[in-house]
Amino acid sequence: MNKHILTNKAHWNKLTDIHTSSSFYDVNSFKKGENTIPKLELDEIGKVKRKSLLHLQCHFGMDTLSWARMGATVTGVDLSDSSIAYAKELSKEINTLARFICSDIYDLPQVLTEKFDIVYTSGGVLCWLSDLSKWGLLIGDYLKQGGVFYIREEHPFANMYDHDFQLKTDYYFNTTTPEHVIPKGSYSNRKAVVKTTSYQWHHTIEEIINSLVSAGLTIKFFHEFPFIGYARFGELMEQDKDGWYRFKDESIKIPMTFSLKAIRT
C-alpha cells in the first residue's frame, strides 16, 4: 500500500472505535432489529431477496447486514481491519449471515472473483478513491449480465463548500492531487478527539458518470436532492422527520446528495 492508503487505513481504524459507540450510528437500535437503509435507497434499488449483493466500502457492516436481513446474500468489503473485525462480530451477535473481506477495493480482485446481481455503495465513499476509471471497471467486472450498480453519495457541488459553508473556488476541478485533511472530530461526533489524518480526492460529476459509462454500464437514472445524511454544515442544518439534514434557512437550495443507478447490459 502507498502512504495515502496506509494513512487512510489508520484513520478509519480510529474512526471505527468512535463510530461504533456513537449515537449517530446507534448500534444498539440496529441490534434490536432497526434497518439502516434509507427509504430513498430501498425505493430506488427495489427488492433484494434471493439476490447476491456486493457492498464496497461497507465500514463496519450495518448497511450490509441490513440488506442481509432483507434476504440478500451479502459480501461487504472495507479497507479498515478494525471495521471488518467489528462487522464479523456484529454478524454473529445478530445471527445474520454475511461475508466480510478486509481489502483496498483496488486489490479486491486478488481475493474475490465471483459476480453479483447488485453492487452497492453509499454515503461518503468516493473521496477515498484515487482512480474512478479503475473503480468503474471494477464495478463492471463484478456485475453479472443485467446486474445493477447503485450509489447514493454526497453531491460534488456541496463539496465545493467547507464545513463553515464558505465556497472553495479552487476545489471542483482539482481532481488529481489528494487533499491532506486534518480532521476536527468525526461526522458522527464533531467533539471526538481524532489524532489521525487522511488523504481525500475530489471528483467531478463528469468523472463519476463517465467512469461507469466507459466501463460499459448503462445509466438508468441520476437524481439530485437538497438534503444530506449528516449535519455537514453544522448548526446551519437540522434533521427532518425522515432523518435527512437540510438547511434551516429554506432559501438555501443547493444539491447535497445524488443517487445513480446503472445496469451492466
Which residues, in sequence order, are CB contacts of 68 under 8 Å at separation 6+?
A: 74, 96, 97, 98
Total number of domains in the chain: 1
pLDDT single digits (tens) 134-166: 999 999 999 999 999 999 999 999 999 998 999
Contact 22, 188 (CB under 8 A): yes
Domain harbouring 139, CATH code: 3.40.50.150
- Residue 155 C-alpha cell reads as 453531491
pLDDT for 1:
61
Contact 150, 264 (CB under 8 A): no
Closest CA to 68 of 86, 95, 43, 108: 95
3-state secondary structure (DSSP) of residue 259? strand
pLDDT for 175:
80
Rounded Cα distance, 117 and 206, in Å:
26
Q: Is 86 left (phi over 0), alpha (psi -120 to 50) or beta?
A: alpha
Instruction: Show the domain range for 218.
Output: 3-264
Find how far residue 131's CA is from the centre of its chain: 16
Contact 180, 199 (CB under 8 A): yes
pLDDT single digits (tens) 34-75: 999 999 999 999 999 999 999 999 999 999 999 999 999 999
Residues 92-97 have a mean pLDDT of 98
| Position 183 confidence tier, pLDDT thresholds 50, 70, 90 | confident
The whole-model pTM stands at 0.95
Closest CA to 108 of 145, 147, 78, 140: 78
Q: Does pLDDT of 188 surpass 90? A: no
pLDDT single digits (tens) 220-241: 999 999 999 999 999 999 999 9
Q: Does pLDDT of 106 surpass 90? A: yes
Contact 163, 186 (CB under 8 A): no
